[in-house]
Amino acid sequence: MALAQQLPFFNPSVPFTTPIQGGLTEGMIITVSGRVLPDADRFSLNLQHGSTVALDLKARYECGLKIEQDTSQKWGSEERKFETSFQRGQLFVLQILVTLGSYKVSTDGKPYSEYKHLVPFKSVDTFHVDGKVELNLVAFQHAPHLVAPPGSFKVPYKSVIHGGLHAGKVIIVQGFIPSQPYRIVISLRHKHGIAFDYSPRFDQNVVVRNTYEDGIWGTEERSEPMPFKKGEPMLVTIFCGQHEYEVFVNGEKAHTYNHRFTKLEEIDVLDIRGDVQLTFVQP
């Protein structure tokens, strides 16, 4: 199985360790979403080969928050940063992009740091997470154009899904719901319609799913209770499977929706509208 097709992990327990199928390759991105526990003293994310650690990202909270990066090959100089979004009790999305010369780390869609390779990245075959953190998602994908410039997540939001959808594709939408929302709409579109329309409707206290083809809406799928909370952060993960979409809200599986439009590769636009302040989107 090619690395780009490695299935994501939803809600894995911590400590978490997984082989990276095929090892790291240029253009690979590792996406980690989760929540730092309220009583966290530290947590860490490691890229390694056997006992050799190629990249060690640590968040420490004992004397105020510090982020450290290091490598175990003769333990190079420790690098520290003091500004980050990894606050206790908060949701986060971290991404590590593998380039020929370095790992580029982003948090919540914004460039955060860069770490040059001291260990050949092609030898890295294991990913490990430890410490006081809850994981909602760990995914390995080739996904270009992931790091967007600040301010690019304005609503209404529209982005191209490069290469279209395929089984194993993960879409992430992170944001904040205002105190008096009306509706939010997340749509996966193709040239002639909408393959998957996902709409939390706060005015009806229901989540509606549907498909729009040939100028006609299909039969709605509606469900309660509402998994989204007014005035709170949200993290929506849409996993495209072979036969259905699986939707996770704040790490919990909330809904499934069978493919009505089955030409997945033609679904190439993500559209988000309504009452939400977006902080990060991975189309």
119-130 tens-digit pLDDT? 899 999 999 999
Are 32 and 125 in the same domain? yes
Same domain? For 180 and 124 the reply is no
* Side-chain half-sphere CA neighbours of 143 within 13 A: 26
Range of 28's domain? 3-142
Q: Are residues 105 and 166 located together in one domain of the fold?
A: no
pLDDT digits (tens, 9 = 90+) for 138-194: 988 775 544 444 456 889 999 999 889 998 888 989 889 999 999 999 999 999 999
- What's the rounded Cα separation, in Å, for the pair 256 and 209? 9
Q: Point out the domain boundary residue: 142, 166, 195.
A: 142
The domain total for the chain is 2
Final residue before a domain boundary, out of 107, 142, 177: 142
* Same domain, yes or no: 104 and 169: no
Tens digit of pLDDT for each residue in 40-94? 888 889 999 988 889 988 887 765 545 555 544 444 444 444 455 577 778 888 8
Closest CA to 254 of 216, 217, 225: 225
In a domain, 24, yes or no: yes
Q: Are residues 128 and 161 in the same domain?
A: no
Asked if residue 137 and residue 20 are part of one domain, the reply reads yes
Query: Quick check: is 228 in a domain?
Result: yes
- CATH of residue 227: 2.60.120.200
Cα–Cα distances (Å) from 236 to 91, 108, 204, 227, 282, in that order, read 11, 13, 20, 10, 11
Q: How far is the C-alpha of 185 from the C-alpha of 262, rounded, in Å?
A: 21
257 and 207 in a single domain? The answer is: yes
Residue where a domain terminates, one of 96, 115, 142: 142
The whole-model pTM stands at 0.74
| Residue 152 belongs to a domain | no
Question: Do 127 and 219 sit in the same domain of this protein?
Answer: no
